[in-house]
Chain A
């Protein structure tokens, strides 16, 4: 079974290279550029892991995370942030985020982290 990954970032270029990176690694990847689209994609695409940018116009990453976890508590969410302020990170973790990663991203680390989350899901955690 191919693993499904949703990438949410208002920067199209970021979505694009992450998509190609994970598709090369046999993931099925969907993208969204804002919070509303992300929630919609979670509903339709049913990803196992979501990469969610914190700073987005309109509904930001934290609000999106909250709603996402309400409707789909099992989906693993990795927050992506350009500026790691302690408060935002704490808030995200409190809302149920599974990890966070800062930009610029280390793809090696990200790949490993996504794989970890999928392994956790496979174990039913």
Chain B
């Protein structure tokens, strides 16, 4: 398929000027005949026919009896002419077909192989519903079999109103993440004008005015593309395949373009189905998420009522038990108690306080946040929290590393709640490690996704897969003396800020809690700007 035509054989500039090349070929038969492939094919057919005729003429006298009318014919001096003419009439078409087939297979074998491979791929993709897999297969196969330099498959993202790179071949990983084409970019506008035709860089740019060409060229440059195949399904542009050739002189002929369009028509529906499935999965995920949040909320309301009831009913008897013990403990003079009794009474007072703390804590968090919100420095809160547990961690020989994004913005939240998040994650990690191990706390500001990501990983014992979805349940704990509210409370606070928390764990290796808090860029950066402006007038505001 890839024909690197020598410059001498390359057709005039006029041919290149035409989209898909077809109009010129139709208008000018001379160029059509002079296509190197056709020339070669026709010469080969003539050669084969000639040799076949000569061979038959030579062999005929040995095979046919000399007597009779046939004998006369066989020895006629014009015999080879007759034979060649006869063979030409009878065998020309089959031989031409055979030659063409052999040429396609052995001489232009890339083309047939490539076409077969790609059409096979399109057939296979018809039953594949995984967007990413389809994209990877398309770009890699396309790139490999056509020996291209770059191939990228962009698919439409109706939510963002743009096209993003689903998969790319020959690109750097970072490049593919960056490229997004908005629906109003020159390239997409152009595709909407030209429809399903394959877009060729050179001819298209030459047909445009200087400014338009410049704008379109920058789009094509960003995609590293010389050609773009639009993928239309039912008149809607679902995506595009943009590719660039390895050799600068690469030309594709009319047949190639015809094939590209066939291929586009074949994979278009696959892409469409995969996109629908992707969207459905997303919706399903959102539904499950909101359902689980609803369940959590309902659970929480029930807990709040229960906690309020329990707190009232239990704190009174606790007050009596603890009060009486304190009365005895605070007796002075001759009535003073034995040490053993004092010990016991102290324990009673301490344990009643602990029991009351459980219901109090539960009540506090089930009631939701009512504290004041302010611009909190996450780094400062983390450091304060780290200092709280540093002593215990050093005793247990646990090394805690903090890894913070220098661009971390301030976060609008209730300081106490953020502290609670850090404390719970860290205490959980310290407990999981036990002794001798590492804890890494990372905080990243993902500007594009508008969120702050906090992760806390440990080299602890890990959580078996069957318990992973239970760790956030209230009262779920593996420790004897723990209440099992830490991670539950962390999750509640995270949800309250519209964030999410998840855990990844491997038994024997460790666990990682990943918490994402939404942090709208505009708000955070305005705030940053205010802060910078206020603290250092005249200083440059960081963009």
| Contacts from A to B (Cβ < 8 Å) | 11, 13-14, 17-18, 20-21, 24, 55, 82-86, 102-108
Bound complex: CA A103 to CA B370 (Å): 22
CB distance from B154 to the nearest CB of A (A): 53
Bound complex: CA A6 to CA B330 (Å): 21
Across the interface, do B353 and A104 meet the contact criterion of CB distance under 8 Å?
A: yes
CB distance from B165 to the nearest CB of A (A): 51
Bound complex: CA A18 to CA B315 (Å): 15
Q: Which of B312, B324, B327, B370 contacts A86 (CB 8 A)?
A: B370
Across the interface, do B327 and A82 meet the contact criterion of CB distance under 8 Å?
A: no
Bound complex: CA A21 to CA B319 (Å): 14
Across the interface, do B308 and A104 meet the contact criterion of CB distance under 8 Å?
A: no
Across the interface, do B363 and A14 meet the contact criterion of CB distance under 8 Å?
A: no
Bound complex: CA A21 to CA B352 (Å): 19
Bound complex: CA A110 to CA B264 (Å): 82
Across the interface, do A17 and B360 meet the contact criterion of CB distance under 8 Å?
A: no
B388 located at the interface, meaning its Cβ lies under 8 Å from any Cβ of chain A in the complex: no
> Which residues in chain B, 399-455, are within 8 Å of chain A measured between CB atoms?
none
Bound complex: CA A18 to CA B321 (Å): 12
Interface SS majority for chain B? helix
Chain B positions within 8 Å of A85 at CB level: 308, 363, 367
Across the interface, do B323 and A18 meet the contact criterion of CB distance under 8 Å?
A: yes
Extra A-B contacts (10), CB below 8 Å, given A17-B320, A21-B323: A14-B323, A82-B315, A83-B308, A83-B315, A102-B315, A102-B356, A103-B315, A103-B319, A105-B319, A107-B323
Q: Which of A13, A24, A83 contacts B312 (CB 8 A)?
A: A83
Bound complex: CA A108 to CA B353 (Å): 14
Across the interface, do A17 and B330 meet the contact criterion of CB distance under 8 Å?
A: no
B156 located at the interface, meaning its Cβ lies under 8 Å from any Cβ of chain A in the complex: no
CB distance from B359 to the nearest CB of A (A): 8
Across the interface, do A11 and B326 meet the contact criterion of CB distance under 8 Å?
A: no
Bound complex: CA A17 to CA B331 (Å): 13
16 A-B pairs within 8 Å (CB atoms) are namely A11-B320, A13-B320, A14-B320, A17-B320, A17-B323, A20-B327, A24-B331, A82-B311, A82-B315, A83-B312, A102-B360, A103-B316, A104-B321, A104-B322, A107-B327, A107-B330
Chain B positions within 8 Å of A14 at CB level: 316, 319-320, 323
Bound complex: CA A18 to CA B326 (Å): 10
> Which residues in chain B, 317-339, are within 8 Å of chain A measured between CB atoms?
318-324, 326-327, 330-331
Chain B positions within 8 Å of A18 at CB level: 323
CB distance from A66 to the nearest CB of B (A): 21
Q: Chain A: which residue is nearest B320 at the CB level?
A: A13
Chain A positions within 8 Å of B316 at CB level: 11, 14, 82, 103
Chain A positions within 8 Å of B331 at CB level: 24
CB distance from B347 to the nearest CB of A (A): 14
Chain B positions within 8 Å of A82 at CB level: 311-312, 315-316, 319
Bound complex: CA A14 to CA B363 (Å): 23
Bound complex: CA A107 to CA B321 (Å): 12
CB distance from B223 to the nearest CB of A (A): 57
CB distance from B349 to the nearest CB of A (A): 8
Q: Which of B315, B321, B330 contacts A108 (CB 8 A)?
A: B330
Q: Chain B: which residue is nearest A11 at the CB level?
A: B316
CB distance from A53 to the nearest CB of B (A): 9
* 8 closest cross-chain pairs (CB), A and B: A82-B315, A103-B319, A104-B322, A107-B326, A103-B315, A104-B319, A83-B311, A104-B318
Chain B positions within 8 Å of A102 at CB level: 315, 356, 360
Bound complex: CA A13 to CA B321 (Å): 10
Of B315, B319, B327, B367, chain A has the most CB atoms within 10 Å of the CB of B319
Chain A positions within 8 Å of B326 at CB level: 21, 105-108
Bound complex: CA A104 to CA B324 (Å): 11
Chain B positions within 8 Å of A108 at CB level: 326, 330
Bound complex: CA A104 to CA B62 (Å): 126
CB distance from B361 to the nearest CB of A (A): 12
Q: Chain A: which residue is nearest B315 at the CB level?
A: A82
Q: Which of B311, B324, B352, B363 contacts A17 (CB 8 A)?
A: B324
Bound complex: CA A84 to CA B330 (Å): 26
Bound complex: CA A56 to CA B318 (Å): 17
Of B311, B321, B353, B367, chain A has the most CB atoms within 10 Å of the CB of B311
Of A18, A104, A107, A108, chain B has the most CB atoms within 10 Å of the CB of A104
Bound complex: CA A86 to CA B368 (Å): 12
Bound complex: CA A86 to CA B367 (Å): 10
Across the interface, do B327 and A104 meet the contact criterion of CB distance under 8 Å?
A: no
Chain B positions within 8 Å of A84 at CB level: 360
Bound complex: CA A118 to CA B322 (Å): 25
Chain B positions within 8 Å of A11 at CB level: 316, 319-320
Of A13, A55, A82, A102, chain B has the most CB atoms within 10 Å of the CB of A82
Q: Which of A20, A55, A83 contacts B363 (CB 8 A)?
A: A83
Chain B positions within 8 Å of A13 at CB level: 320
Of A20, A103, A107, chain B has the most CB atoms within 10 Å of the CB of A103
Across the interface, do A104 and B312 meet the contact criterion of CB distance under 8 Å?
A: no
CB distance from B459 to the nearest CB of A (A): 40
